[in-house]
Structure 1
Amino acid sequence: MQIAAAAHWENDVVRLAVLTPDAVSDAYVDWLNDPEINRFLESRFVRHDRDGVATYVASMLASPSALFLAIHSKALDRHVGNIKLGPIDRQHGLGEIGLVIGAREAWGRGIATNAIAVISDIGFRDLGLRKLTAGCYASNRGSRIAFERAGFAVEGVRPNHFLSDDGVEDLVLLARFSGA
């Protein structure tokens, strides 16, 4: 999405900023390769390196249908994860949200909920979208709770959708509408 790299949005807990390739750190790459952190990410099937991640970030920065942001925890004073709004479907007023909180010390602090709330504001207020959606593995209780606390509701479940280390797993579909 063509937004200035200096753009940022925030609330009392988080600051979201456009992620650029030069912001890709060893710690960020390590999140993507850590089996505990990436266990609910589709990117877990590939080994990541700094150049590959920087190339991906550059592609998101150039994408007309995605907004890819770094999540900075104000309390921890650092980059702790990423959140993406995309693909964005302007014809139908839709946007899909995905995120990762990579820094373990940021888990359980409400950072994901706050990041979801801020990016939802961007989607509704700044981009004029009417509906935001997300999906998570059924066993990813932290993600589901974060979305529900940010005003999302379960729309449905796709049974036996994913293959995981524990067998097959349901996909939980969540959504929030503008004005909700």
Structure 2
Amino acid sequence: MSDHLQADFSVKPTLVGERVLLRPFLLDQDAPVLRSLLQDPEVGRLTGSSHGPADREPWDEAAEERMRAWYGTRHEQADRLDLAVVERATGACVGEAVLNEWDSGNHSCNFRIALAEAGQGQGFGSEAARLIVGYGFAGLGLHRISLGVFAFNPRARRAYEKAGFVVEGVRRDALLYEDVWVDDIVMSILAPEWERHHGHPETAQG
């Protein structure tokens, strides 16, 4: 049973789908897109890393160094999995997909994804989610993978639902953005559910 598999996050796989693949970061190649993600006000809003225009800082040499230090060490992390999302047709990085907050005793992880504008609206998010979630269950022996999505991001919520995540609760008023309180919707997927539909709940029987 997958629950008895010892998770090994030190392995950084390449996961190949129909339209995207997930692979370890190639910093020099991926840096422009990663930089654009970190500078994008809309990404900051949707991920809750920004509370509004007032707390956005200019991109300077120190920010560049922090970005390169972060992504340049993702392959060394033994308790999380950070992978670049790459469009297969072009070979271009369009974002990142992450399994983090590993709870080894409970076989659980958090999932998050961020896509640049070039990777949005094409189904890349759902496919990338299926790839890394499938690896989490089959390759890492996880039992539960969860995420949070803010109420003002229905497009992301739909992408997660298409990949098999289900709503299990709401963290009310979890984010204050431009003086407006926003709920954080908690979603998850369990290993038995994945075994049943493999990320395609709309086609699952029964």
TM-score by length of 2: 0.79
Alpha-carbon RMSD across the aligned residues, in angstroms, is 1.9
**2:77 counterpart of 1:63:** yes
* Residue 128 (1) aligns with residue 141 (2): yes
Mean Cα deviation higher: 120-129 or 26-35: 26-35
Distance in 2, Cα, partners of 1:126 & 1:176: 16
Distance 1:81 1:142 in 2: 16
Q: Deviations over 1:143-175 (max 9, x none)?
A: 111110000000100111111126110000000
| 1:37 correspondence with 2:43 | yes
Q: What residue is the counterpart of 2:3 in the other structure?
A: none
Rounded to whole Å, the distance in 1 between the matches of 2:168 and 2:73 is: 30
Partner of 1:18: 24
| Higher strand proportion | 1
Runs (5+) with no aligned partner, structure 1: none
**Structure 1 residues 127-154: Cα deviation after superposition (integer angstroms, max 9, x where no partner):** 0000100101111112111110000000
Would the aligned equivalents of 2:174 and 2:182 in 1 still touch at CA under 8 Å? yes
Q: Does the residue aligned with 2:106 lie in a helix, a strand or coil?
A: coil
Distance 1:126 1:46, change over 3 A: farther
Higher-helix-fraction structure: 2
Q: Does 1:87 align with 2:95?
A: no
Counterpart residue identity of residue 22, structure 2: L
Aligned residues: 177
1:137/1:171 contact within 8 Å kept:
yes
CA contact (8 A) 1:24 1:50 kept: no
In the superposition, the TM-score normalised over structure 1's length comes to 0.89
Q: Provide runs of 4+ in structure 1 moved above 6 Å.
A: none
| Structure whose CA Rg is larger | 2
